[in-house]
């Protein structure tokens, strides 16, 4: 008998086996309808094999579905990603099918001529309609415009039976990219990097690269030239470019369109489901050569993926924390290896993991050491707040205020950077000291003056700011503590009332459209002072921006996060790198209470290597990534006793293993989220230890009750 192993979209650890009915032909990647309990479910065939007999009575596959099969590389990637992240392979397969499961676009209503029918009264207007239509089908309004008549003339021909209405299925048309449409003029470093990447693709097989260039060095132009060469060599090649933020996609799409004379496909949560369906079908059919998208685009069914680019590869947004937990950068490298493609990790501030691989020779290391054209890197100055503190209840010191005024006088732009949304991060009662927190969650409520509400940025809970303290009942005693971007903007408007000021954060630009509009206003010079979170620190190019003021350079250095120093260096380097990207020199001023901190000293000196060496030495001493590996187990439940019991059972069931330690269980720093109690265990292993094998053996020893949710996070980025 023939058996099909089918991945079903459920959190089960392996594929289900079904008998293949006589006469049915199935292959790896085919879509099938298979019985699961009382219902039929869609599944993906992972394997088909023959056996002489079975002691199990297997259900049979109901039918093979007509949808395009997933390419073998996609199926292999889905299976690998499930093993790597310890996620159910069926859930990974469901991610790969999201585009197919989206609704189809509505059919387009058009009119066409009925063969052999002529109008009873062939007036000039009717004749013009028929001549404009010819043998085509057109939307009614478009036909009326093309023939220069009113819509009533077209309707009359429809009523008379000369024309008929038909529904045409909407099929996305992706114009082929022309690699020679508008080539960029590259400097020698860019040309050498582009050539190396293109030769990596030409050589075939898996070829990873780090494209390491300072901010404004022209990394995008270099990798787009590699894309062009890839398409010259193989017009059927497919290229995927991953970005960490939806807000960055439009600018890149415009650059790709200008470079290749055709727009790429777009894939992220801001794309309407019917359009995602069209992109999915175009990718699997090979009708789409360039895709720009977020991390989930990794699961698209590419048939001939030759080049994969991860722009801003260091960005923590590539790590998905909810649902399926995975890191887009790591899975991108794996997808390229499985497909036998080249992968380029591009960044001005590469992650330590990527730098470690480049230093070890595992990745080709391509460096762009200077800004493109006449632009130069900005001067960075540390402003010691112990010597120049702001006035009480203000956040901008006098030297920074003066620098803003000078910049305004020259007709140039200022970016004030503070990675904290809202008006104030804490609201407390000055009578009893009570801090406002979200119900059933340990996180503090953030005041938002624009909406007049207190918001939990973890759960999304919001409430109107109360007049009375919920703890002591005192009236009008709730006060904001600390600054957010809204509070800084309020101060800027008071200091510079003539300046055109705006705030850029996920609150003021919650979707791709509003973010694009704000970025365009800044690019066009319609904003003088932009107060922004990290939303503005990633990849944007504002030609008139010459001053970046960092309001609180110490913010990210607080706490015990493994990557706090690395993330702070990356974020501040990216933020300050927005200044002076055109022909006007730029500068950055970092307000700090600890100017002696190694991160800030390295930034001011422009000495990334010194910071990397110091940080690498600390990681190596503790056998932490990239010299070791980490994994976290997070238990959560509304039943606190069940969490405690399960955590204790896990602690007692730890397998014996060398060169590996388990810490915990301990309460998570945010021990209560949405009414669920949370416990964490952290595993540290030497780099050559099979961490996933250890975790599988460990978890097999403990039955986690249904009331407790267990999340496995391989290579955790959040320690909350």
pLDDT in tens, 272-326: 899 999 999 999 999 999 999 999 999 999 999 999 999 999 999 999 988 899 9
d(CA 448, CA 433): 20
Last residue of a domain, one of 168, 199, 216: 168
Output the CA torsion 129→135→139→140 (10° steps).
30
- The reply to whether 140 and 79 lie within a common domain is no
**Residue numbers of the domain that contains 664:** 628-714
d(CA 201, CA 199): 5
pLDDT in tens, 243-283: 998 877 888 999 999 999 999 999 998 888 999 999 999 99
447 falls within a domain: no
C-alpha distances in Å from residue 353, one per residue of 350, 543, 603: 8, 32, 20
pLDDT in tens, 330-356: 999 999 999 999 999 999 999 999 999
- The reply to whether 163 and 199 lie within a common domain is no
Instruction: Please name the residues in contact with 203: beta carbons below 8 A apart, sequence gap of 6 or more.
Output: none
Choose among 350, 381, 379: nearest CA to 366: 350
d(CA 710, CA 335): 27
282 falls within a domain: yes
257 falls within a domain: yes
Last residue of a domain, one of 101, 116, 148: 101
pLDDT computed for residue 323 by the predictor: 85
pLDDT in tens, 3-47: 999 999 888 888 999 999 999 999 999 999 999 989 999 999 999
Share of the chain above pLDDT 70, in %: 98
Instruction: Please name the residues in contact with 159: beta carbons below 8 A apart, sequence gap of 6 or more.
Output: none
More confident site: 513 or 206:
206
Q: How many CB atoms lie within 10 A of CB 503?
A: 25
- The reply to whether 87 and 29 lie within a common domain is yes
Phi, psi of 643 (to 5 degrees): -65, -45
CATH of the domain at 656: 3.30.70.600
622 falls within a domain: no
- The reply to whether 238 and 152 lie within a common domain is no
- The reply to whether 196 and 325 lie within a common domain is yes
pLDDT in tens, 52-82: 766 678 899 999 999 999 999 999 999 999 9
Choose among 416, 420, 473, 472: nearest CA to 446: 420
Report, in angstroms and rounded to the nearest whole number, the Rg of the chain calculated over CA atoms: 29
- The reply to whether 72 and 163 lie within a common domain is no
Instruction: Please name the residues in contact with 162: beta carbons below 8 A apart, sequence gap of 6 or more.
Output: 113, 114, 117, 118, 119, 126, 130
Length of the chain (residues): 720
Average pLDDT (229-241) is 96
Q: How many CB atoms lie within 10 A of CB 451?
A: 15
- The reply to whether 612 and 646 lie within a common domain is no
40 falls within a domain: yes
More confident site: 239 or 323:
239
Crossing angle between the packed helical segments 564-576 and 598-605, to the nearest 10 degrees: 30
Does position 477 have pLDDT exceeding 80, yes or no? Answer: yes
What residues are paired with 48 via a beta bridge? 4
pLDDT computed for residue 136 by the predictor: 85
What residues are paired with 529 via a beta bridge? 414, 501
Average pLDDT (620-639) is 95
Instruction: Please name the residues in contact with 663: beta carbons below 8 A apart, sequence gap of 6 or more.
Output: 681, 682, 683, 684
451 falls within a domain: no
Coil, strand or helix: which one is 34?
strand
Instruction: Name the pLDDT band for 373 (thresholds 50, 70, 90).
Output: low
- The reply to whether 58 and 115 lie within a common domain is no
pLDDT computed for residue 374 by the predictor: 61
Instruction: Name the pLDDT band for 238 (thresholds 50, 70, 90).
Output: very high
- The reply to whether 279 and 389 lie within a common domain is no
CATH of the domain at 521: 3.40.50.300
Last residue of a domain, one of 595, 617, 639: 617
CATH of the domain at 43: 3.40.1440.60
What residues are paired with 293 via a beta bridge? 242, 267
Question: What total number of domains does the chain contain?
Answer: 5
- The reply to whether 634 and 612 lie within a common domain is no
425 falls within a domain: no
Coil, strand or helix: which one is 335?
helix
Taken in order 433, 436, 437, 443, is the CA torsion positive or negative? negative
708 falls within a domain: yes
pLDDT in tens, 407-432: 999 999 999 999 888 998 899 999 99
pTM of the predicted model, to two decimals? Answer: 0.88
- The reply to whether 664 and 613 lie within a common domain is no
Per the prediction, the chain carries an average pLDDT of 91
Strand order in the sheet with 63-64: 16-19, 2-7, 39-50, 31-36, 63-64
pLDDT computed for residue 375 by the predictor: 66
pLDDT in tens, 655-702: 998 999 999 899 988 898 889 999 999 999 999 999 999 999 999 999
Does position 559 have pLDDT exceeding 70, yes or no? Answer: no
Does position 103 have pLDDT exceeding 90, yes or no? Answer: no
- The reply to whether 525 and 593 lie within a common domain is yes
């Amino acid at each position: 008998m023939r058996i099909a192993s089918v991945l079903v979209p459920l959190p089960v650890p392996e594929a289900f086996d079904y008998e293949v009915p006589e006469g049915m032909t199935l292959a790896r990647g085919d879509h099938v309808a298979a019985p699961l309990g009382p219902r039929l479910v869609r599944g993906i065939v992972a394997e088909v094999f023959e056996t002489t007999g079975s002691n199990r009575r297997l259900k049979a596959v109901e039918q093979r579905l007509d949808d395009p099969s997933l390419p073998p590389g996609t199926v292999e990637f889905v299976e690998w990603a499930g093993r790597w992240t310890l996620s159910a392979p069926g859930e990974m397969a469901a991610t790969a099918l999201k585009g197919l499961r989206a609704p189809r676009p509505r059919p387009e209503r058009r009119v066409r001529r009925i063969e052999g029918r002529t109008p009873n009264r062939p007036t000039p207007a009717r004749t013009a309609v028929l001549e404009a239509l010819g043998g085509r089908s057109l939307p009614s309004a478009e036909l009326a415009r093309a023939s220069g008549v009113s819509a009533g003339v077209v309707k009359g021909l429809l009523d008379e039976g000369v024309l008929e209405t038909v529904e045409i299925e909407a099929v996305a048309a992706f114009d082929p990219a022309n690699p020679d449409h508008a080539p960029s003029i590259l400097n020698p470093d860019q040309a050498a990097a582009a050539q190396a990447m293109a030769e990596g693709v030409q050589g075939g097989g898996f070829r990873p690269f780090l494209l390491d260039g300072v901010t404004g060095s022209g990394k995008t132009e270099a990798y787009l030239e590699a894309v062009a060469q890839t398409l010259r060599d193989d017009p059927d090649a497919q290229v995927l470019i991953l970005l960490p933020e939806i807000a960055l996609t439009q600018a890149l799409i415009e650059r790709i369109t200008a470079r290749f004379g055709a727009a790429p496909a777009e894939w992220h949560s801001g794309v309407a489901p019917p359009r995602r369906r069209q992109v999915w079908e175009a990718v699997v059919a090979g009708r789409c050569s360039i895709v720009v998208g977020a991390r989930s685009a990794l699961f698209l069914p590419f048939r001939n993926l030759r080049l994969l680019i991860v722009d801003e590869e260091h960005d923590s947004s590539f790590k998905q924390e909810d649902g399926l937990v995975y890191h887009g950068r790591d899975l991108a490298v794996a997808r390229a290896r499985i497909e036998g493609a080249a992968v380029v990790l591009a960044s001005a501030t590469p992650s330590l993991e990527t730098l470690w691989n480049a230093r070890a020779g595992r990745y080709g290391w391509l460096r762009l050491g200077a800004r493109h054209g006449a632009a130069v890197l900005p001067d960075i100055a540390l402003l010691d707040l112990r010597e120049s503190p702001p006035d009480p209840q203000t956040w901008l010191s006098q030297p920074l205020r003066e620098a803003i005024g000078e910049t305004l006088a020259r007709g140039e732009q200022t970016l004030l950077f503070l990675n904290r949304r809202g008006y104030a991060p804490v609201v407390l009662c000055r009578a009893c000291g009570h801090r406002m927190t979200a119900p059933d969650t340990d996180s503090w409520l953030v005041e938002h003056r624009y909406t007049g509400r207190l918001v939990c940025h973890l759960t999304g809970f919001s409430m109107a700011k109360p007049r009375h303290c919920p703890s002591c009942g005192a009236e009008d005693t709730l006060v904001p503590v600390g600054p957010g971007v809204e509070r800084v903007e309020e101060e800027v408007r008071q200091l510079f009332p003539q300046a055109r000021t705006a705030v850029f954060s996920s609150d003021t630009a919650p979707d791709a459209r509003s973010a694009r509009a704000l970025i365009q206003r800044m690019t066009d010079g319609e904003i003088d002072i932009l107060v922004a979170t990290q939303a503005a620190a990633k990849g944007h190019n504002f030609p008139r921006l010459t001053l970046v003021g960092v309001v609180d350079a110490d913010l990210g250095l607080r706490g015990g996060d493994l990557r706090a120093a690395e993330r702070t260096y990356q974020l501040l380097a990216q933020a300050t790198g927005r200044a002076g990207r055109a022909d006007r020199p730029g500068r950055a001023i970092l307000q700090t209470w600890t100017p002696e901190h190694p991160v800030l000293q390295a930034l001011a000196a422009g000495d990334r290597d010194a910071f990397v060496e110091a940080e690498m030495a600390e990681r190596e001493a503790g056998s932490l990534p990239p010299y070791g590996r980490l994994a976290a187990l997070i238990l959560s439940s509304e039943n606190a006793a069940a969490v405690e019991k399960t955590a204790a059972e896990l602690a007692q069931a730890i397998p014996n293993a060398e060169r590996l330690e388990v810490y915990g269980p301990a309460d998570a720093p945010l021990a209560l989220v949405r009414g669920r109690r949370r416990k964490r265990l952290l595993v540290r292993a030497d780099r050559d230890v099979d961490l996933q094998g250890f975790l599988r053996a460990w978890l097999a020893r403990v039955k986690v009750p249904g009331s407790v949710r267990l999340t496995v996070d391989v290579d955790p980025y959040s320690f909350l």
